[in-house]
Amino acid sequence: MTVIEETTAGTVPQATQPRTWSFINRRTSEPMAVTCMTGCTIDHTQEMGRAIFPEDIWCWTLAEDMTLPVNADGKPEEFRILSTVIKVEPWSPKIADRLPFAVIELVDDHFVDGLDPDGLETVIRTLAERLDQMRAMQRRLVEVRAQYMRRARTA
């Protein structure tokens, strides 16, 4: 039996224990057991006991959505940004994907995936540098606005 708990944020369920279940290998008709990765939030009931290809089995953690209004076509629309999940594909043809890896959704359906711990750290470092640049730009904006408003008052 799977136990699902709410996180402290109250919106992202987390499995407290890895689940073990089985499916039928669609190529060989043999039963295969799989144990979910710790924290897997996918409901695998559609795959349990059914004939499917092993490479179609995967687990991931669910990230809490964060959105920003993005103006892509002249009117702002809420898009998901910077959600990160941990995913594993136990029978993937890509050997690296058989170990848990990170996937970052930069903005609505645009992903950086296949990140090992070092790759994820590189993305984090890159985003941290960008945030530092944005903070510097915000300070500059405050100064430029103040100067602009002073000029407007004296004009």
Give which of 80, 20, 22 is closest to 51, Cα–Cα: 22
Cβ proximity of 42 and 63 under 8 Å: no
Tokens 């964060």 correspond to: 66
Say if residue 82's pLDDT is above 80: yes
CA distance 41 to 103: 15
Establish if 147 belongs to a structural domain.
no
Q: Which range marks the domain in which residue 82 is found?
A: 4-115
128 within a domain of the structure (yes/no): no
The mean of the pLDDT values for the chain is: 89
Number of structural domains the chain divides into: 1
Q: d(Cα 51, Cα 26) in Å, to the nearest integer?
A: 5
Does residue 90 fall inside a structural domain?
Answer: yes
CA distance 47 to 150: 66
Q: Which amino acid, 88?
A: V
Model confidence pLDDT, tens digit, residues 56-73: 999 999 888 899 999 988
Residue 124 falls inside a structural domain: no
Shortest CA distance to 51 belongs to which of 25, 33, 30?
25
Global pTM value: 0.79
Specify if 9 maps to a domain.
Answer: yes
Give the residue-averaged pLDDT of 125-148. 96
